[in-house]
A = this chain, B = another copy of it.
Amino acid sequence: MQDPLSHLPGYALRRAANAMLSELSSRLAAVDLRYADASCLILIDANPAITASALGRALDIQRANMVPLLNRLEGAGLIARTPLDGKSQSLSLTDTGRARLAEARTIIDAFELDLLGMVPAEHRDHLLPALNALWQ
C-alpha cells in the first residue's frame, strides 16, 4: 500500500497524538480520570486558588466547556469551588483530589517514560522542544 501521508509532519503529528491519547486515556481510566481531568488536577495543584476561566485559558479550553468538566471533578469530590469575589471562583484540590492526583502522577510518569522510550535515542531529546515550538 502506497502511503504518501507518513511523509507529512502534520499527518504524523496527528497519528502520534491520537495513539498517545488513546493509550494514556486507557491507563488513566484505572483511576477513573480522563486526560482533561488529570490536566486540571495538575494545574490546580501547581496554582492554588486558580480561577476557572484562568484554568481554561491555560489549557485552551473554552469557558463554556469548563463547566461540565469542573462539575464532574466537583461531583467526584476531587475539587472544591470557593467564591472569590462574587464573580470569580477559586479552585482547590480536596484531600481526595490530592490523593487521586498522586495516583495519576504515577501513571503519567510511567507513561511519559514509555512514550519517550519509543523514540529512537538520536531523536529523543529533540521531541519536546520541537513540539513546544509548534504551539507555545
Q: How distant is the Cα of A20 from the Cα of B135 in the complex, in angstroms?
A: 8
Copies per assembly = 2
Q: Is the CB of A17 within 8 A of B9?
A: no
Q: Is the CB of B10 within 8 A of A112?
A: yes
Name A134's contact: one of B7, B42, B111, B118 (CB within 8 Å).
B118
Q: Is the CB of A24 within 8 A of B12?
A: no
Interface assignment of A136: CB less than 8 Å from any CB of chain B: yes
Residues on the B chain within 8 Å of A96, using CB: none
In A117-135, which residues have CB < 8 Å from any B CB? Answer: 118-120, 122-124, 126-135
Task: Give residues in A with beta carbon < 8 Å to B.
Answer: 1-21, 24, 35, 39, 42-43, 46-47, 50, 54, 58, 60, 108, 111-112, 115-116, 118-120, 122-124, 126-136
